[in-house]
Amino acid sequence: MSGAPILQVENLSKHFGVRTGLFGRQKRTVKAVSGLNFEIGAGETLALVGESGCGKTTTTRLLLRLQTPTHGTVRFDGRDIHQLKGADLKSFRSRVQAVFQDPWSSINPRVRIRDFVAEPLIVNEKLTSGDIDIRVHAALDDVGLRPQDARKFPHEFSGGQRQRIAIASAIVTRPSLVVLDEPVSSLDVSIRSQIINLFKDLQGEYGLCYILVAHDLATTRYLADRVAVMYLGSIVEYGATDDVFDTPAHPYTEALLSAALPADPGAVRNEIVMSGEVPSPLSPPDGCAFHPRCHRCLGDACRTQFPALISQEQGRAVSCHLYTE
Amino acid sequence: MAEAPLLEVTDLKVEISTKAASFFPVNGHSFTVRAGETLGIVGESGSGKSMTAMSLARLLPKHAAHIRSGSVKLDGRELLTLSEPEMRRVRGKEIAMILQDPQTSLNPVFTVGEQISEALRLHAPGPRRTLRERAIDALRKVKVAAPEHRVDAYPSELSGGMRQRVVGAIAISCQPKIIIADEPTTSLDVTVQAQYLRLLREMQDETGMAILFITHDFGIVANLCHRIAVMYFGRIVESGPVDKIFARPAHPYTEALIAALPKLRGQQGRLRTITGQPPVPTDQIAGCPFAPRCEYADARCRSELPPSVDADSAGDHSASCWKVDR
Amino acid sequence: MADTPIRTVPSPGLWRRARSLPLVPIGVLLTVFIIPAFFAEWIAPHDPYVPNLKARLQPPVFFGGTWEFAMGTDRLGRDILSRILHGAWYVLAVSMIGIAVGVVVGTTLGLVAGYVRGWFDGLVMRLVDISLALPAMLLALALAAALGASFLSVVIVVGFALWAYFARQVRAEVLLLRKSDFVARSLVAGSSHARILFRHILPNVTNTIVVLATLQVGIAIMLDASLSFLGIGIPRPTPTWGLLVSDGRDFIATDWWISFFPGLAILLTVLSANMLGDWLRDRLDPRQRQI
Amino acid sequence: MLRFLSLRLASSLFALLIITLIVFLLSHLSGSPVDALLPDDASQEQIDAFVRDWGLDKPLWRQYLTFLGNALQGDFGTSLKWPGEDAMGFVLDRMPATLNLGGLAILISVVIALPLGVAAAVYKSSPIDSGAQIFALLGQSMPNFWLGIILIWVFSVWLGWLPTSGMGTIAHAVLPAIAIAWFQISALARLTRSAMLEVLDAEYIKLARVKGVPEWKVVWKHALRNAAVVPLTYFGILAASILTGSVVIETVYSWPGMGWVAIEAIRGRDFPVVQAVIIAYAVIYMISTLVVDLLYVLVDPRIRHG
Amino acid sequence: MINMYSKHRIAPKRMLAAALLAGTILGGAGLNFAAVAQEKVVIAVSPLGADSNLYWTTTGAFIMPSMQTLVGNDPATGKYDNSQLAESWEHNEDFTSWTFKLHPNAMFNDDWGPVTAADVVHSFEIHTGDDAKLSGISKFKAMTITALDDHTVRFDMPSPDPDFLFSNAGRGSLAIYSKAQFDAEGIEGYEAAPAGSGPFKYEGREVGQSITFSSIKDHWTGVTAEFDEIEFRWVSEPSTRFAMLSAGEAHAVTLPRDLRDDASEAGQTVLSSSAGAMQTTMLFTGQFMRPDAEETRDARTYAWADQRVREAANRALDREAILEVLYGEGVGALPVYTMDPRFPGYSEEVAASFDENYGYDPEKAMALLAEAGYPDAFDNAEIPLVVTSLAGNPEFAQMAELVQAYFDVAGIKTEMREQDWATGNTAIRGFTADFITPMRNAPVRPSALGVQIFFTKHASPHLDIGDPEVNELGGQLVAETDPAKRGEILNKMFTRISDTYAHLPMATVPATVVVNSDLVEGWTFPGATSSGLSHYELIDLK
């Protein structure tokens, strides 16, 4: 990690109350995420991977201050973002941006491109209209669009172009951190690489750091410096991308990677049979949440005790009884 | 090689005509699928791959889309000239389909059992109880746990992967000769996708049916298919055995697509990109449709449509490109 | 969390839009409704108010009448055509102001309720329930008895009858929109709730509002007519169409023209407004499916 | 499920409470019953006695509380206009007439609107579609009293098929029910059409066709069963509109139902009956929306298991 | 083939369902509505203000044909006769005591025995109870009743009442119920089926819809209707009533004037009452002639406080044209509202000079207005003109519209106000009325009664025009018992009212009913009741 971490997440949990049963008498708690710890340094990319329902989206919403955590803190530049007010909040808003999955739904169809791209500037900074235009044009230029596109409406663009517009809006304030929520999964293959390259270029140019949520493991590997593998609301493995992908420690990581299909008929795949599907977060299994599907389940320990996340060498951490003494 | 192909599609053209415009989303392509074989049709959105699938089952949207020319032969029988009731007996019984989204491809108001046995009742009628037994059998075949219980479940009670298995059960229930699978795993998680593809392979091994697998994911074709057809702008631009195409792509588009993918192992530098945007079906392009984005294109590429030519001497690998020998 | 993704259909160009305009309904609306509403003074061949007792119950032209009274005359010898032309303004005013009241109240409440949820949402929805549960006609009767029948009371009743539909519909849309990615995106950008509500959500429900409002023209006119039927509409001698139809209803079997032509005016106007509304709905918002 | 129901019930009761307040205030705003119920030449003693008997001399809030307390026990007082009749009892006696009429109107509108909407959706943009739409719209374009009178002349006087007015056999209900229903057909048919259009595009419809299901079965079994959920949500409003429509139509056809009572009572300043009838209307509406919610759950397993 | 088969299998099933539905509807249709049975007469009229078997709790608009009063009206002349329960009557000199002798053979229906003085006393008691709302009942409350013998009763009243017969005849302030039934069944018996002594027997009612009576075969009066049953249907829409008549569903209906013409053109018969049944007028409300008006409020806000304006208003009206539109030809103008040739006090001079004084003369009207300074001299130059279409007087709306149009020509500005009776009454009672309102007098009251109700403070204080002279004369009238002198006083009152242009008199109108000419031959009725209709037993069927 280079320099001081820009974002620190400590013991972050988000629980939802859900009423079930007749008359809603039983009140259950769903632990969407629990006890997350990670940090990101400047210019770094951290990827969150896992199956749907593992808590990736909740995590990003907590980091973006769209939801309030039940426990724990998110520190940005050393300050708890959920305590920010006034000017500090504005500054946070302008320094943290996001790009969402669907370029069709993430751009307000009734707003001109210029106004859409400029929104973070308009609400957070005091600029003249002319200055805003200059910044918008610069941002559009950065993502490969022309200044005259600013006058158009979203429906005049294709999916790939829309995603560029969304990126332009995310970088217009020169943020430090951009949350990328499945940013390429709805794009065509031939466009995908353009956008992936664009992310790399922007990171190189502006020293952005990214939090990437993606289900395509190849993309993750290409973009991310470090990766956190999540299962049922918890991080089960954490470490440098290459390390994790080349030598997965947690059985779940192993299974996940084995399920990814390389675009190469000759590639050797070590297929791991993982039975069943992700259990409902309403009734998570006791002990290690993964044990019912685990091909390396050790027995009682896995069934009854929750394995803590244990740090290994080189910033790696694993939460598995295989690695506890 | 000598045996007759199970499905033979020749020069298929589909026209969509609306008040505003008229265009050919499927513009004259030909391919064959042999029994027990999996053909992968790969293409980006708007390339006409789903339209191809629907036109094989003659289920194009009424009024708007029409098959303009070509022939579709299943086991030697021409499908395009069948009457609608005859065609209805082909659908489901001889050609089955698995659609893209398991969330929406099951009717939410009927139980799983009702939906499976409906197909059975249409093509192999029997008493109620037998139908139910056979529906349970079909569920068992697609490895749904506790099929006796699940048969009475509504789709909303099942997970995504489970639903897609049910769709699979409907597809295989009448032992079709060919299954057309239109992006059946796109909305599934990778782990569930892997399970599902394994299931498809097993079913194929068991029944010897052919699979026409439509996808945009090269990872899937690489792992599942025997042969590949790559589509671009309503045409098949390249087709051949899967290993040949990955090893020596003959069409620049195929080549660029494969190179543009990030690799899971062994990392590369900057990703290769294809410039520009994929064309939409309403575009008018003279010459090779890929020419505007192609790094090898010359004047002839921009004015004349390239014919399909053999890419090697074996005769099982062909591409539509003036520069096959580049 | 299976959100329906909000997608908009790319709008075709202005020219193509203009070409596909439903010319017949627009033409009918103009000739029957809008032009008379503003220019009746100059178009109408007779004074709509002054009885002409010598020309009572003249049949329309082609039915034994003359061109002088093309649509015949009523029991007091007043020219039906002139009365219809002059009535257009009142019909227009009642329906437009009534709908405007409904739109403003309904949209505001629906917007805020759908966005802030919580107790306010509950309250608004209960108000919607209350408003739907109280038949507008009964309210009108009570109101007319309390305040006297007047233009104002008719407008209030129309507004009261309609606001709940707008509130319901707008709220439903807002519930979807507030979960959309672009609202999340805008929150991330740091927009205030007011900004999101008015800059992002409101423009996306305007289509719904416009379409619904067009479709409500018919309901407003019908309501006005029903109020006249009950004798609590805009007071005489104002020739609102509802009053004309209502006054002539006794003579459907004999002097049919007294109510037929005003009825036809209502029919054409409402039919056209609805067709226009349908057209707008098809163009503007394929998701929209309320009445 | 039960929880949902009890919540709905509670909020309905709250709404009813507000309605009682509105109704009470409105009926008191609208003038004194003295003038409606006593003859022109009533003496001052008569007036005083009347005011005392009906508690009209008490402060408004006292009158309201008294009213509410009694109303909770179902006691809305005695009718002023129909002497000797218990107000709520009188309204309840008329309720079956209105419910019969409304029920028939709903039946007619559903029987006509559903096929119309389905046909319009299946043959979208064809003459069938436009024809169905225009037929449906006609009902919304005619004042219903006008339509009602025309129906009487055509079907009762000229053709002699049906009776003109009054209540008796089912034949008496046909014309008023049509006059009420036609207005609703348009809305219902449009809803059905758009819901069907949406459903017909769904993947499971494709899948049904892929299975080889004949087209009519695709439409009427697979599609309609799903599309029906949407018009169903409209039923609460449908019920409300039919109640409202019945006010006018019951007058035209001399149908002695609640609408008729409502008008007569308001005109006669019959406070107790006015209050009873409006509350009764509101309760019917609340119950019908509640029933719709229940039906909704029955029709759509997604909600049952959601 | 399976599919084809199933397609055909389902279609007939659906057709069957459709056929069943259609069958039910048509089957139901065949049951009941076909042309009414000959032995049952159906009369369709506007709904009543109040609807009850307990007659005294209604305002008395409809007296059931099963009930009788003490005094009858001759069907052909409208004069009082002994066709009802009283065989004869007499009064003392100053009209403070009236004695009635009952027909000895009068019997209640349903075997409740003979009609006796006890029944009259009993009926008097229930009619003057707290729940009584009958028009004119306040007068009864001040009386005492004494049964002199089994068939004789005497009413004693504190002040002279020369017009007492009116209350007991068409006005019907006292209907005779059976005491025997009351003793046996109580009030519930009346509610369920009140026994009366009329030529019809109460059969039952559908509240708000209809009420049915059967005719009694050998009635004690010897009069028997030629049909078995009579049903009254309450139908508020005139065109629906017209439709019922045209469809043969009703024998007789009441219709507004224009529809009457239409019906008559269509071949139906219009029957009028033998005497005038109703007088109409438009009243300037507010006590405009009162000397203290200046103190209580600014009289100038009432344009019509100036007699010149009142005369102008009258002169502005072309009564001939208005009455032709409202009531048809042959309806004569009414010189003074409540004045009637049948009753004492009728002033030939006023009637004779009516054309001269009230004749249509717009020029004069304008001159008078100019002289009075109208509209500039008045704060409220716009006079609200009240329309009451809610009151079951269909011609009132047109009357107001026509008056407005004629006023407009003369330069009197008016503004329409749609207002129901109750609201208007509230304003009038509260002395806040600032409008011109249509008014009717039905049944036509004896002049003495009418003039006091509508113009003086003596009978109903709120309708007082505030003229000291009229009130003075009214006071004299109350005290005076000599018929000749009463006539003189009344004559003076009518003259004064006419001279001061105190109102806008309109017309005396007979009651009319339209009968289906295929079913009904004729029917004579005097027009003496509130609704105008009576003597149903005289309906002559074809």
Q: Is the pLDDT of residue C91 over 50?
A: yes
Predicted pLDDT at C109: 94
Predicted pLDDT at D283: 86
| Token output for D285 | 């509406």
Predicted pLDDT at C10: 43
Please, what's the b/e burial string for D239-251 (b: 16 or more CB within 10 A of its CB; e: otherwise)?
Answer: bbbbbbbbbbbbb
Whether residue D78 lies inside any domain: the answer is no
Residue D65 sits at the chain C interface (C-beta within 8 Å): no
Which residues are bridge partners to E515 per DSSP? E252, E269
pLDDT digits (tens, 9 = 90+) for E335-346: 999 998 888 889
Q: Is the pLDDT of residue E396 over 50?
A: yes
The span from the CA of C152 to the CA of D266, in Å, is 20
Q: Is the pLDDT of residue E533 over 80?
A: yes
Structural domain containing residue D19? 2-72
Report the run of H or E that residue A166 belongs to, with start and end.
helix A159-171
C-beta atoms of E246 and D171 within 8 A: no
pLDDT digits (tens, 9 = 90+) for C205-215: 888 888 888 87
CA angle E402, E405, E411 (to 5 degrees): 140
pTM value is 0.80
Examine the domain organization and report whether D125 and D30 are in the same domain.
Answer: no
Examine the domain organization and report whether D229 and D257 are in the same domain.
Answer: yes
Predicted pLDDT at D37: 62
Contact B99, B105 (CB under 8 A): yes
Mean pLDDT over C181-205 rounds to: 88
Whether residue D77 lies inside any domain: the answer is no
Residue of C197, C62, C172, C158 lying closest to C110 (CA atoms): C172
Predicted pLDDT at D41: 61
C-beta atoms of B118 and D211 within 8 A: yes
Examine the domain organization and report whether D41 and D96 are in the same domain.
Answer: no
Q: Is the pLDDT of residue D43 over 80?
A: no
Nearest CB neighbour to C191, from listed A64, A102, A119: A119
Reported as a pLDDT band with limits 50, 70 and 90, residue E153 is very high
Mean pLDDT over B125-154 rounds to: 87
Higher pLDDT, C7 or A193: A193
Q: Is the pLDDT of residue C288 over 70?
A: no
Give the CATH number for residue D110: 1.10.3720.10
Alpha helix ranges (H) inside E266-347: 293-296, 307-315, 319-327
CA angle E269, E273, E277 (to 5 degrees): 135
Q: Which of A13-22, B256-265, C122-131, E190-199 has the highest mean pLDDT?
A: E190-199
Mean pLDDT over B279-296 rounds to: 85
C-beta atoms of B223 and A269 within 8 A: yes
- Pairs across A and B, CB distance < 8 A: 127
DSSP assigned state of E214? E
pLDDT digits (tens, 9 = 90+) for E280-319: 999 888 777 766 655 554 555 678 888 899 999 999 999 9
To the nearest whole angstrom, how far is the Cα of B56 from the nearest Cα of chain D?
A: 11
Q: Give the lowest-confidence range in B272-281, C193-202, E495-504.
A: B272-281
Chains contacting D (3+ CB pairs below 8 angstroms): A, B, C, E
To the nearest whole angstrom, how far is the Cα of A102 from the nearest Cα of chain D?
A: 21
Mean pLDDT over A88-117 rounds to: 87
Contact A13, A35 (CB under 8 A): yes
Whether residue D254 lies inside any domain: the answer is yes
Examine the domain organization and report whether D237 and D183 are in the same domain.
Answer: yes
Reported as a pLDDT band with limits 50, 70 and 90, residue E102 is very high
- Average pLDDT value over all residues in chain D: 81
The span from the CA of A79 to the CA of E225, in Å, is 102
Q: Which of A70-79, B25-34, E134-143 has the highest mean pLDDT?
A: A70-79
Predicted pLDDT at B104: 79
Reported as a pLDDT band with limits 50, 70 and 90, residue E6 is very low
C-beta atoms of B122 and E3 within 8 A: yes
Q: Give the lowest-confidence range in A41-55, D30-44, E311-325, E469-483.
A: D30-44
Mean pLDDT over E131-138 rounds to: 78
Chain D partners of A19 at a C-beta cutoff of 8 Å? Answer: 3
Predicted pLDDT at C16: 52
The span from the CA of A160 to the CA of A187, in Å, is 6
Predicted pLDDT at B160: 80
Predicted pLDDT at E86: 93
Reported as a pLDDT band with limits 50, 70 and 90, residue E262 is confident
Residues 16-35 of C with CB under 8 A from B: 16
Contact E127, E117 (CB under 8 A): no
Higher pLDDT, E197 or D76: E197
End residue of a domain, out of D42, D72, D102: D72
Examine the domain organization and report whether D123 and D269 are in the same domain.
Answer: yes
Residue of C120, C100, C55, C106 lying closest to C82 (CA atoms): C55
Residue B103 sits at the chain C interface (C-beta within 8 Å): yes
Helix (H), strand (E) counts: chain D = 16, 0
End residue of a domain, out of D72, D98, D124: D72
First to last CA, chain D: 10
Reported ipTM: 0.78
Predicted pLDDT at A9: 92
- Average pLDDT value over all residues in chain A: 86
Residue A163 sits at the chain C interface (C-beta within 8 Å): no
| The CA-based dihedral angle spanning residues A149, A152, A158, A160, taken in that order and rounded to the nearest 10 degrees | 40
Domains: count for chain D: 2
The span from the CA of C182 to the CA of A106, in Å, is 4
Residues 22-51 of A with CB under 8 A from D: 22-24
Examine the domain organization and report whether D64 and D106 are in the same domain.
Answer: no
Reported as a pLDDT band with limits 50, 70 and 90, residue D146 is confident
Chain B partners of D204 at a C-beta cutoff of 8 Å? Answer: 104-108
Nearest CB neighbour to E259, from listed C236, C237, C250: C250
SS3 of E417-464: EECCHHHHHHHHHCCCCCCEEEEEECCCCCHHHHHHHHHCCCCCHHHC
Q: Is the pLDDT of residue B133 over 70?
A: yes
Beta E383-387 vs E414-418: how paired, if at all?
parallel
Chains contacting C (3+ CB pairs below 8 angstroms): A, B, D, E
Predicted pLDDT at D32: 67
Contact E382, E291 (CB under 8 A): no
Cα E8 → chain centroid: 66
Predicted pLDDT at E329: 73
Predicted pLDDT at E44: 93
Reported as a pLDDT band with limits 50, 70 and 90, residue A1 is very low
For residue D39, give the chain E residue with the closest CA: E135
Whether residue D258 lies inside any domain: the answer is yes
Q: Is the pLDDT of residue E366 over 90?
A: yes
For residue B55, give the chain D residue with the closest CA: D210
Q: Is the pLDDT of residue D44 over 80?
A: no
| Token output for A46 | 């951290």
Residue E332: exposed, middle, or buried by beta-carbon count in 10 A (0-12, 13-18, 19+)? middle
Examine the domain organization and report whether D281 and D178 are in the same domain.
Answer: yes
Examine the domain organization and report whether D100 and D66 are in the same domain.
Answer: no
Whether residue D243 lies inside any domain: the answer is yes
Predicted pLDDT at C6: 35
Residue A100 sits at the chain C interface (C-beta within 8 Å): yes
Mean pLDDT over E375-383 rounds to: 79
Whether residue D79 lies inside any domain: the answer is no
Residue C138 sits at the chain B interface (C-beta within 8 Å): no
Reported as a pLDDT band with limits 50, 70 and 90, residue E11 is very low
- Average pLDDT value over all residues in chain C: 81
Which residues are bridge partners to A311 per DSSP? A317
Predicted pLDDT at E276: 82
- Average pLDDT value over all residues in chain E: 83
Whether chain D lies against chain B with 3 or more Cβ pairs closer than 8 A is yes
Contact E471, E456 (CB under 8 A): yes
For residue D170, give the chain E residue with the closest CA: E28
Q: Is the pLDDT of residue D58 over 70?
A: yes
Examine the domain organization and report whether D64 and D168 are in the same domain.
Answer: no
Strands (DSSP E) along A105-247, which ranges?
A: 177-181, 209-213, 226-231, 234-240
Predicted pLDDT at D239: 78
Which residues are bridge partners to E212 per DSSP? E204, E231
Reported as a pLDDT band with limits 50, 70 and 90, residue C5 is very low
Report the run of H or E that residue D226 belongs to, with start and end.
helix D224-227
% pLDDT > 70, chain C: 89
Whether residue D13 lies inside any domain: the answer is yes
| Token output for E71 | 């005094």
Q: Give the lowest-confidence range in D109-113, D123-127, E452-456.
A: D123-127
Please give the radius of gyration of chain A, using alpha carbons only, rounded to the nearest integer: 21
Examine the domain organization and report whether D140 and D64 are in the same domain.
Answer: no
The span from the CA of A144 to the CA of A157, in Å, is 13
Cis peptide bond prior to D127, omega within 30° of 0: no
Chains contacting B (3+ CB pairs below 8 angstroms): A, C, D, E
C-beta atoms of B125 and E3 within 8 A: no
C-beta atoms of D149 and E239 within 8 A: yes
Predicted pLDDT at E434: 81
Q: Is the pLDDT of residue C86 over 80?
A: yes
End residue of a domain, out of D72, D100, D128: D72
Reported as a pLDDT band with limits 50, 70 and 90, residue C19 is low
Residue with tokens 């191809």: B52
Predicted pLDDT at E18: 47
Q: Which residues contact A234 (CB under 8 A, 6 or more apart)?
A: A33, A34, A35, A36, A55, A289, A309, A319
Predicted pLDDT at C271: 87
Q: Is the pLDDT of residue C7 over 50?
A: no
Higher pLDDT, D55 or C201: C201
Phi then psi for residue B314, to 5 deg, are: -70, -20
The span from the CA of E46 to the CA of E286, in Å, is 31
Whether residue D132 lies inside any domain: the answer is yes
Q: Give the lowest-confidence range in C50-64, E7-21, E356-370, E386-400.
A: E7-21
Cis peptide bond prior to C237, omega within 30° of 0: yes
Higher pLDDT, D54 or B68: B68
Q: Is the pLDDT of residue E5 over 50?
A: no
Predicted pLDDT at D36: 62
Cα E166 → chain centroid: 14
Kindly list the strands in the beta sheet with E414-418, ordered across the sheet, starting from the edge strand earlier in the chain. Answer: E200-206, E210-215, E229-234, E40-45, E252-253, E503-515, E269-284, E436-441, E383-387, E414-418
Predicted pLDDT at E389: 57
Nearest CB neighbour to C271, from listed D137, D190, D244: D137
Q: Is the pLDDT of residue E460 over 80?
A: no
The span from the CA of B236 to the CA of B290, in Å, is 12
Examine the domain organization and report whether D27 and D102 are in the same domain.
Answer: no
Examine the domain organization and report whether D199 and D54 are in the same domain.
Answer: no
Q: Is the pLDDT of residue D296 over 80?
A: no
Beta E86-91 vs E97-102: how paired, if at all?
antiparallel
Q: Is the pLDDT of residue D54 over 90?
A: no
Q: Is the pLDDT of residue D229 over 80?
A: no
Residue with tokens 């979807």: C176
Q: Is the pLDDT of residue A288 over 90?
A: no
Q: Is the pLDDT of residue B88 over 50?
A: yes
pLDDT digits (tens, 9 = 90+) for E207-248: 778 899 999 988 888 888 889 999 999 888 888 899 899 888
Please, what's the b/e burial string for E150-183 (b: 16 or more CB within 10 A of its CB; e: otherwise)?
Answer: ebbbbbebeebbbbbbbbbbbbbbbbbbbbbbbe
Q: Helix, strand, or coil here: B97?
A: strand
Residue A265 sits at the chain B interface (C-beta within 8 Å): yes
For residue C17, give the chain B residue with the closest CA: B20
Reported as a pLDDT band with limits 50, 70 and 90, residue E200 is very high
Predicted pLDDT at E365: 93
Q: Is the pLDDT of residue B129 over 60?
A: yes
